[in-house]
Amino acid sequence: MATKKYESVEHYVNLPWTYQVTTQQDNVEGELYIVCVNELPGVCTDAKTVDEAMVLIKDAIEGVIESMIEHNKEIPTPPNEETLRVIKDIEEGKDLVRAKDAEDLFKKLGT
């Protein structure tokens, strides 16, 4: 099996991952913030503050990336800024123009 070419672990840790942040009431700890990485299933952490949870999730991402590299696994990448903008626009109900190419797009936009 061929070995994949990887960037540095730091490169992957600093990608613009997307997160789901929820709260949970714990009888012992009180309110906990739970942070999960959307693109890395199962990579979650919890803490008493969001800031602490965000520091801890970076450590979790680092550990998972190191393991994926060690085992020659494909590393998923987060969506780029344009994809995130389109997702946000769709969630906000904004109209999107679909086109087969640039010429078609300009025609539809009337420019």
pLDDT, tens digit only, all 111 positions of the chain? 567 899 999 999 999 999 999 999 988 879 999 999 999 999 999 999 999 999 999 999 999 999 999 999 999 988 888 877 887 888 888 877 777 888 887 887 776
Domain ranges of the chain: 1-78, 79-111
1-78: CATH number: 3.30.160
Helix or strand (DSSP H, E) at 45: strand 44-47
> CB under 8 Å to 54, separation ≥6 — which residues?
19, 35
The conformation of residue 100, written as its DSSP 8-state character, comes to S
* pTM for the predicted model, two decimal places: 0.71
Could you give the C-alpha distances from 99 to 52, 89, 109, in angstroms and in order? Answer: 44, 17, 10
- CB burial of 82-99 (b: ≥16 within 10 Å; e: otherwise) equals eeeeeeeeeeeeeeeeee
The size of the chain, in residues, is 111
